[in-house]
Amino acid sequence: MPIDATQPYDDGNIFARILRGEIPANRVYEDEHALAFHDIAPQAPVHVLVIPKGPYVSWDDFSARASDAEIAGFIRAIGHVAREHVGRGYRLLANTGGDAGQEVPHLHMHVFAGGPLGPMIAR
C-alpha cells in the first residue's frame, strides 16, 4: 500500500522501533535531533539513512510542523554524515509519498556516496 505523505504518524513503523532501540541498526551517528544508520539494502557503495528523532511521517510533514531547532538539527546532522564524502560527491534523496516510492512512514534522508551514482532519476 503506497504511503500517503500526509497520513497521521504511525508509532509502530520500523524507524520508530529503531529509535526506541527495539530493533537493531548499524548506527553511524546520533545527536539530540537525529540518528543515522546504514540502509539494510544498500543501493550504492555508501547508503546511509538520516532520520529526525521526532514523529514526522515525511519531508512534507517535517517541513510544515517541526520546530526551527529540529529542522536545524536534522539538516546539520545530514551535513555531518555526508561531509565525509564531499570530496568525491554524494547524493541526498527524501522520497515523499506514493509516487516517489516512500516505503517507511518516518522521514528519512538517503545519503548515497562512495562511487559514481548514475543518472539522477530512473527512466
* 45: contact with ligand AMP by CB under 6 A: no
Smallest gap, in angstroms, from Cβ of residue 60 to ligand AMP? 13
Q: Which is nearer to ligand AMP, 57 or 66 (CB)?
A: 57
Smallest gap, in angstroms, from Cβ of residue 62 to ligand AMP? 14
Residue 9 corresponds to which amino acid? Y
Residue 118 corresponds to which amino acid? G
- Do residues 88 and 113 touch, judged by C-beta distance below 8 A? yes
C-alpha cell at 107: 522521514
C-alpha cell at 88: 568525491
14 phi and psi angles, rounded to 5 deg: -65, -35
The catalytic site residues sit at: 108
* 104: contact with ligand AMP by CB under 6 A: yes
Binding site residues, ligand AMP, CB under 6 A: 14, 25, 37, 39-41, 49, 95, 101-104
